[in-house]
Amino acid sequence: MIISIMVKIFFLLAVGFIIARVGLLKSEFKKAMSDLLVYVFLPASLFVASQEEFAWRQLVGIGQVTLITTVYYAVVMGVSFSLGLLRFRQRKKSGMFALLVAFANTGFVGISIVGEAVGGTGLIYAAIYNCVFDVIYFSIGLLLIQDYKKGSFYRTIAENPLIWIPIGSVVLYALPFRFPIELTEAAGSLADCMLPTSILIIGAEIADMKLHDMVADKLAYFTSFFRMILVPGITFVICMLLPLAKDLAMTVVLLTAMPSASLNVIMGRRYEAYPEYATATVMQNTILMLLTLPVFIHLCKMYL
């Protein structure tokens, strides 16, 4: 199973890289593919997950993953921002360091990986994880690199589909009826497009980056160690010690094992918060994921 997942990821990364380099996947197409992920493939994937057989254990798990994710972001953001201040003594740089360490690519890529490795209700847990991600990122997270104007936080939350789509899937899961199997299977066909589309986009993003920037940035190595090894490693140990269901624990560990979110690059450019450093880090640990992810999948399968 691990080999199957990694072969898919490597192949799709290579295809995305090549088609971007030869000009077949241009920026406007990447934008269109991203919109499809948000408004079509992601809702379809979560709809299919919501049609799993209802179990009270899953609702308890939803509460647990909400609590775990909230505590995770509070601790990791607080510690990494403090370490950043000690090392850089610059608020914006410390803030970007904290964002790159705490916030991973748990959305399209993370949910896709969870769908492959965990499946079933793991997708519901991943959706709730991402819901907490969005609320914290677009509130406290961005305050680390840029102050909000009055009222913008509430507008951002209200207009963000990545918050309301997971909530809708939980509501559907809790309802006392299920949709016809034909509809679920049709939605499943769309859901199957999530992994290839998301990895193709990442491959195209890597093609647009400069190799020298990734190799020469020493701070990116430091950040990648935290993001790809230390944080998911500590999370794995904690989940192993806690009395959690295997699918919930595995979902949490795999989502923390994802590379830094490309959203950090976008926000770094928008708020002039070291976008070059963010770009080098994202590129670096996205490639590093090919080595670390199979290790964490294996550890989860064996010990959780």
Q: Please tell me the predicted confidence (pLDDT) of residue 103.
A: 94
Q: Please tell me the predicted confidence (pLDDT) of residue 113.
A: 87
Most confident of 14-18, 68-72, 129-133, 175-179: 68-72
**258, 109 Cβ separation under 8 angstroms:** yes
Rounded to 5 degrees, what are φ and ψ at 78? -65, -45
pLDDT at position 148 over 60: no
Most confident of 59-63, 171-175, 271-275: 59-63
Q: Please tell me the predicted confidence (pLDDT) of residue 236.
A: 96
| 224-229-230 Cα angle (round to 5) | 100
Q: Which residues contact 68 (CB under 8 A, 6 or more apart)?
A: 252
Distance CA 105, CA 111 (A): 9
* Token pair listed for 204: 């195209």
Of 246, 263, 250, the residue nearest 293 (C-alpha) = 250
Burial of 171 (0-12, 13-18, 19+ CB in 10 A): exposed
Distance CA 146, CA 92 (A): 8
Task: Give the number of other CB atoms < 10 A from CB of residue 101.
Answer: 27
DSSP 37: I
Per DSSP, which regions of the chain are E strands?
Answer: none
Q: Please tell me the predicted confidence (pLDDT) of residue 79.
A: 95
The chain-wide mean pLDDT, for the chain, equals 83
Q: Tokens 């195209």 label which residue?
A: 204
Lowest mean pLDDT among 144-153, 158-167, 273-282: 144-153
Of 42, 38, 57, the residue nearest 159 (C-alpha) = 38
Length of the chain: 304
Question: For the whole model, what pTM was predicted?
Answer: 0.77
Domains delineated in the chain? 40-195+214-303 (1.20.1530.20)
Of 274, 145, 286, 140, the residue nearest 219 (C-alpha) = 274
pLDDT by residue (tens digit) across 170-200?
788 778 788 888 888 898 888 888 778 877 8
Rounded to 5 degrees, what are φ and ψ at 260? -55, 140
Q: Higher confidence at residue 162 or residue 302?
A: 302
Q: Higher confidence at residue 221 or residue 56?
A: 221
Q: Higher confidence at residue 12 or residue 269?
A: 12
**173, 58 Cβ separation under 8 angstroms:** yes
Please, which residues bridge with residue 160 across strands?
Answer: none
Distance CA 81, CA 74 (A): 11
